[in-house]
Structure 1
Amino acid sequence: MLMRFSALVMVLTAAMMMEEAKSIRLCNIETKDAESCRPAVVGNNPSPPVNACCAVVRAVNLPCICRFKSYLTTYNIDPARVRALVPKCGIRTVIPPACQA
């Protein structure tokens, strides 16, 4: 679960750094597509993840994106909410040790 969390960290971070009309391909996904997860990880009462967000979570290359997890709090994203996306999207995974730190 933490591995998926780490993957989302970078994707969300990259998506927020890009202008709305721009996107980059990063670890198998387009950063603009990660914006679909934003409502599920910010604010006082985040909404459940939409299907498009779960598609991003499933598509991301986890080993690639794990190394960017430290950027999450820079954009006021609650790490616990990002971790919660994994089970909410029905994803079960083994978290590699490198992504748990």
Structure 2
Amino acid sequence: MESLYKKIAIVSVVLVILGGAKAQTLCNMTVIGLLECKPAVTPAKPPPPTAECCSALAQADFKCLCSYKDSKTLPSLGIDPELAVQLPQKCKIPNPHKC
């Protein structure tokens, strides 16, 4: 039951963020940028990241993003943390913070 409450809380936060998507950021990425990257980090056969995803990722605070790697939040949102840490290389972003 606790897991259900956590998922509801996460969805609520996402909805609030989406309400002001242009103004809201996470680790220097806008919500729109994060949403652009979601297909590329969603199992089972993710497509390559889009140019828009890579552009948003180039502005990201990688140390901040890496802090979510071991979080249960990402999998609960359908994001594979291992795919997520591969994005900088796929986007050819030089010298990102290593997770």
In structure 2, the CA distance between the partners of 1:43 and 1:65, relative to structure 1 (3 Å rule), is: closer
* 1:58 and 2:58 matched: yes
Larger helix percent? 1
Q: Which residue of 2 aligns with 1:4?
A: none
- CA shift for structure 1 position 92: 3.0
Give the RMSD, CA atoms, in angstroms: 2.7
In the TM superposition, structure 1's runs of 4+ consecutive aligned residues that sit over 4 Å from their partners are none
Select the structure of larger CA radius of gyration: 2
Residue identity (%): 29
Cα deviation digits, residues 17-64 of structure 1 (max 9, x gap): 236553113332311221111111113211000100001111112344
5+ unaligned residues in a row in structure 2: which ranges? Answer: 1-9
5+ unaligned residues in a row in structure 1: which ranges? Answer: 1-12
How many residues of Structure 1 are paired with residues of Structure 2 in the alignment? 84
* 1:22 and 2:20 matched: yes
- Specify which structure has the bigger relative contact order, considering alpha-carbon pairs within 8 angstroms and separated by 6 or more residues: 1
Structure 1 length as normaliser, TM-score? 0.63
